[in-house]
Structure 1
Amino acid sequence: MSFTHLDAAGRARMVDVTLKQPTVRTATARGFVRCAPEVVAALRNGTAPKGDVLAVARIAGIQAAKSTPALLPLAHVIGVHRASVDLEVTDEGVEIEATVGTADRTGVEMEALTSVSVAALAIVDMVKGLDKGTLIENVRIVSKTGGKSGDWLRPGEPGVGPSATAPGEVPATEGERA
């Protein structure tokens, strides 16, 4: 197996995607922030001392998707044409799902993972005064579309696939997925 991020001498390098044709690509990532019942209650009641935790996490996640190349040194600078972050408060914490889309030469998996991770960090930052034991768990890619390797769905992942859309979103058309 060859590693495209290494040159012949084994040194890290950015992969050359100059000759690749842009294609429509998406990636969806998920993660979970596990927190104390007091935090869950504050999130549900809107009484967290630092303000609207979910709004800040959503914006932090969207901004993070656009900032990925500044954080990951070998990530390509690409146009992020779509970024959404959905948050659901459960009895154990907050489920996070981020979907990122582009029409570019490389995929947006790292952007989706960064989006979920930073949204989770924003939640931890805003609730740490209530729960120092808050955990970020299970950050993962659950689906991707487009590119040379084609579409991929994580086996066994609930609510993933062409029929799954985030609340308020319109499903992608065939033309948007091409």
Structure 2
Amino acid sequence: MDLISEIYEKDIGYKHENIDISYKLRKASRSIVLNDSQKIALLFVSKNNYHKLPGGGIEAGEDIKIALNREVMEEVGVNIDVLGEIGTIIEYRNRHELLQISYCYYSEVKGAIKEPSYTDEEINNGFQLKWVTLDEAISILENDKPDNYLGKFIQSRDLMFLKSAECLLNSSNI
């Protein structure tokens, strides 16, 4: 999978400091999920005023695509067929001593759409599922104003994924 970008604190408006950090590694998978109307799933995190693509952490020993299907079922309420790769983004979240590698795919809904099953943390963060066009998703993320550190990383990362998907999907006529 191609590397799209690496995101550092300086890229999201924080002062860059040359410090030695021992990062904890977190791997995650996420997807641009298309429904029958060619709209994509987008999650609004109302507590911190940003949107994100569905997906999340890959558990130890778990296959990336199995983790992706699990996360999409939890957050969107659908099974998916993975159609292809978008790319990888690496985030250096110094304040959390975390290096996150996110693998992004594009997929389509397979079967019925059910209710998401959010975790308590996701409920407390005010997760709300929306279905929007790819262009609308890009515009929404470009105009988001996350009010926290994590939200700024997520906004930057997912906007890069969406723009990469736009180029890929337009060139392949999917």
Q: Does TM, scored on the shorter chain, surpass 0.5?
A: no
Higher Cα Rg, which structure: 1
Bigger strand share: 2
TM-score by length of structure 2 reads 0.33
Q: If the length of structure 1 is used for normalisation, what is the TM-score?
A: 0.32
